[in-house]
Structure 1
Amino acid sequence: MAAAKSRIKELPPSDSQSKLTNQPSIVLLDVREDNEWANGHAKGAVHMGRGVIDLQIEERYPDKENTEFMVYCQSGGRAAMVCDLMQELGYKKVTSVQGGYKAILGAGWEITK
């Protein structure tokens, strides 16, 4: 995980939220497990569990040059690995929300079920 974190871009939740507000075309991607998603997630997020990213991401989001992603998991580890994988797949605009869902909750983001 440390190696993945060294290769990706991370933004704190406050900066991530501002960027999402100013650029609504950014895909907010929740890579937690189904049960975690069902218990609550950031409003506007798209769910794609870490285990299926490599099987589904290219089909759902074929524009690797222009589609921008903000990725989060529960605390940041899985998101770092997913961001690293997405970059290996050729995605150019991938950022992890630092601290994940726990930090999102702490920052007061709107949550939905």
Structure 2
Amino acid sequence: MKHNPAFIQLVEEVRNRVRECSLETMRTMLAQNDSMPVIDVREDREVRKGIIPGAIHIGRGVLERDIESMIPDKN
């Protein structure tokens, strides 16, 4: 699928602000800090197939609206 230039620009801008990690890094982080929130932004149909135990599902369409009330600690 070919995306429009405005969408591509938005993705590039956001990529610079989003921290990603590998699966192994995530496993290590969860093992060291079991209170760390994990946010699953996948679609409902994807979450029904499985979710990380303890993860919080916030659909991507409402993430910005709901995240602060569900996860007040921005760190």
TM range, normalised to the smaller chain? 0.7 to 0.9
Give, in angstroms, the shift of residue 42 of structure 1: 1.7
Greater radius of gyration (CA): 2
Structure 1's unaligned 5+ residue stretches are: 64-90, 94-113
Larger relative contact order (C-alpha < 8 A, sep ≥ 6)? 1
Alpha-carbon deviation of 1:23?
Answer: 0.5
Taking only aligned residues, the RMSD between alpha carbons, in angstroms, comes to: 1.4
The answer to whether residue 46 in structure 2 is matched with residue 61 in structure 1 is no
- The code of the aligned residue for 2:15 comes to K
Please, what TM-score do these two structures have when normalized by structure 2? 0.74
Greater per-residue strand proportion: 1
Quote the sequence identity (%): 34
The SS at the match of 1:59 is: helix
> Within 2, Cα distance between the matches of 1:61 and 1:46?
10
Aligned partner of 1:21 in structure 2 is 31
In structure 2, list runs of 5 or more residues that go unmatched.
Answer: 1-10
Aligned structure 1 segments of 4 or more residues deviating by more than 6 angstroms: none
**Matched residue, 1:7:** 17
Per the alignment, do residues 62 and 7 of structure 1 end up closer, same or farther by CA in structure 2, a change over 3 Å counting? closer
TM-score, normalising length from structure 1? 0.52
In the alignment, structure 1 residue 37 sits paired with structure 2 residue 47: yes
